Amino acid sequence: MKNFIFLVVLALFANNAFAQFRYPATKTVDAKDTYWGVTYSDPYRWLEDMKDPEVNAWFKAQAELTNTTMNSITGRDGLIAEWRTLDKLQPPQIYFPIKEGGRIFYQKRMPGEKVSKVYFRENMAAPEQLLFDPLTFQEGKTLSVQQIAPSYDGKKLLIGYAENGAEVQTIQVLNVDTKQFLPDVIPATAGIVGWTFDNEAFLYMWIKSADNTDPTARLNPKTKLHALGADTQADLDFFSNAAYPELKIEEKVYPYVTLRKDAKAYVFAGEGTVQNEQKWHFAPISQFYSGKIQWKTLCTPDDKLVNSFDIVGDNVFAITHKGAAKRKLISTDLKNPDWAKAKVIAPEKAMVLENFARCKDFLLLRYSDGINNYFYKYNLVTEKTMEVKLPFSGSAFAFCIDTKTNEFLVAITSWNQPFTEFIYHAETDQFTPSPFNAAPVYPDAYKDLVVEEVDVKGHDGVLVPLSIIYKKGIKKDGSNVCLMESYGAYGYGMLPYFSAELNSLATKGAVIAIPHVRGGGEKGEDWYKAGYKTTKPNTWNDFISCAEYLIKNGYTQASKLGGTGTSAGGILITRAITERPDLFAAAICNVGCANALRLEFSSNGPVNIPEFGTVTDSVECKALYEMDGMQHVKKGVKYPAIMGVGGWTDPRVVVWQPGKFVAAAQQASSSGKPVLMKVNYDNGHFTEDREVTFANFADQYAFVLWQCGHPDFQLKKNAVEQKP
């Protein structure tokens, strides 16, 4: 092992600029695909066969190299220790409170605990009772709770748990009164759908396989109905293409069902992909057990209904971007739904309507100016709308746990303000402290962070918002390490949020920069579609423009600038550094899409076709090639230091996506800078486990800070001194 470490260090710090890191051997194969007259080479196709022992050995060797390297960097362990200390300072955190049958159910994580446990109270004044501890439930296994769903009478609780962040749930049923599990166990599901009104059965999402390496595992999923005590093998295929072939549900679609306790006269069914525009069906609840429901169309994608959707009695409320790029709230009658003649509840504003929540007498509408949120309340009785003044600016989130009241739970955060929770009393327009979560606690250094919001001229003249966070008093002389992070997909905005991990870097003098690139939803539908499929290059070009701005204005310099992109943000970061490798010193592709031409051939790929496209369409195929980081790696280019990160159990972005990009960059880069592949065998796309999360991001951030020259993150002296 000493020989190995010495060789790693020697290769890294050789004076020759073209010195290469000693990477595990990586073979190439003569794999090619020809689409629409163009042939694309794929020499690392063999890495897609994750059942091949040779592939497993390659990933393990890469993981060993990365772990050994990162264990030799000063400051890395200090980050973990600091985050643990910060975590222990915080009050208990309560997630997802749900009220049914008068009881309140929730997940809670105590300071320093790895994962949350499940609790309930008979009412808010009653003492809490522990129902489920995932760390002691199965000896030797690290489980985390993915979902909970109480029955409508509050007497039973569905618990969906997974292992190692796999997002494949085992569902069990707990008797709340006895705290004993019923014999019903359903393994390997895509999640809980919900209870029936009689509390004697529940719906769940069936998938063919839990194997995240199987490209067919999530094709033709089904919502199944399980009656308590029945044989799970006999569970009814309640809603799927097989059950309703006349609906022509595509194989990539997740067919789901929902029952609404404020609309008990109906059963609703939807067809889910990543496409924002919704497709819903409905029928009278009397047909629920008929064996063959006569579904009626509630909406189609042509109605352009997105995000929030709610039903009260026969009234349906929805947000649409049809004829309103920044969206409006409309309503129609379930007895004769007609979205073309729908009543306008809230017309389009200059701000983007993101979603809404409902209580007994009010709708609470959330708008965004691209950075901060604003609330308006609509009175269902008087039909009047008025603005709600929030306690402070930032991202605000609201939901109602009991629609028989006029109270909302509201959480607000910003880049330098931690999540703070309130109860908003809609009738009196007052905010009071939340009974669930107390205000967080952070050291003074975290209160001394400055936020700038600027607009950057993009490559085509379009102004791109850029959020910049840094420690008060830093000099804008180009001497600062800077970490840029963005996403740019699905219409999701980079909303302000307080990240203890990122802000800990800012307290150490690093600049944190968040470009609001096209493909996100900060400026509405047009902004989203300006970074979508054929317009996707705007996403990474906006990122590049923001990098140039930061350098030009003295926040940093190219030798001190790092970038990171997660998941779909892998497209952004891999194309940014293949397009402009000279702008960056380091880059992280975190569980990222880096091989877009092959994305649809992974288990979660087909459902993402509406967002990125398919090779079976000539125009979309060309767009996928443009998005493909691996395809744009060129031999002999001086690429920045690169870390690819993959979760071994990741069902969303399979580990070979970043793995193939790393393989290509290791063989091609002439910069002599390290190109590493970090493999998280105890993680998926993410995990609730705080210890795993801390270790994961400590490696990522320490890598960037090391390669960008931060003095606190350098090679340990004892590592340098090791001899062969």
pLDDT in tens, 616-632: 999 999 999 999 999 99
Question: What contacts 604, CB < 8 A, 6 or more positions away?
Answer: 212, 218, 651, 652, 653, 654
Please report the DSSP string for 342-366 in residue order: -EEEE---SSEEEEEEE-SSEEEEE
| Model confidence pLDDT, tens digit, residues 557-612 | 999 999 999 999 999 999 999 999 999 999 999 999 999 999 999 999 999 999 99
The type of residue at 49 is D
Question: Which pair of structure tokens corresponds to residue 423?
Answer: 């109860």
pLDDT in tens, 164-223: 888 999 999 999 999 999 999 999 999 999 999 999 999 999 999 999 999 999 999 999
Task: Say if CB 66 and CB 676 are below 8 A apart.
Answer: yes
Residue 136: predicted pLDDT = 95
pLDDT at 9: 39
435-456: average pLDDT: 95
pLDDT, average across residues 383-395: 97
Neighbours of 199 (CB within 10 A): 17
Residue 640's Cβ-side half-sphere holds a number of Cα atoms within 13 Å equal to 33
pLDDT of residue 142: 85
**What value does the mean pLDDT take over residues 157-167?**
94
CB atoms within 10 A of CB 262: 12
Predicted local confidence at residue 722, as pLDDT: 33
pLDDT score for 517: 98
CA–CA gap between residue 234 and residue 225 (Å, rounded): 9
CA distances from 166 to 95, 171, 207, 356 (A): 20, 14, 14, 31
Distance between CA atoms of residues 358 and 181, nearest Å: 33
* Cβ atoms of residues 324 and 304 within 8 Å: no
Measured CA to CA, the distance from residue 678 to residue 681 in angstroms comes to 10
Q: Rounded mean pLDDT of 77-84?
A: 97
Gap between the Cα atoms of 503 and 416, Å rounded = 8
Please say if the pLDDT value at position 65 is more than 50: yes
The whole-angstrom separation of Cα 674 and Cα 20 is: 8
**Cα–Cα nearest to 186, from 150, 165, 210:** 210
In this prediction, residue 718 carries a pLDDT of 66
Please give the residue that has the higher pLDDT: either 141 or 516.
516
- pLDDT value of residue 7: 38
pLDDT band at 717, cuts 50/70/90?
Answer: confident
Q: Using pLDDT thresholds of 50, 70 and 90, give the confidence band for residue 719.
A: low
Q: What is the DSSP letter of 438?
A: P
pLDDT at residue 721 is higher than 90: no
Q: Is residue 717 within 8 Å of 601, Cβ to Cβ?
A: no
Read off the pTM.
Answer: 0.95
d(CA 567, CA 303): 29
Closest CA to 646 of 706, 702, 607, 595: 595
At residue 313, the pLDDT reads 85
Q: What is the pLDDT of residues 361-371, one digit of tens each?
A: 999 999 999 99
d(C-alpha 15, C-alpha 289), whole Å: 74
Residue ranges and CATH numbers for the domains of the chain are: 2-85+452-712 (3.40.50.1820), 92-258 (2.130.10.120)
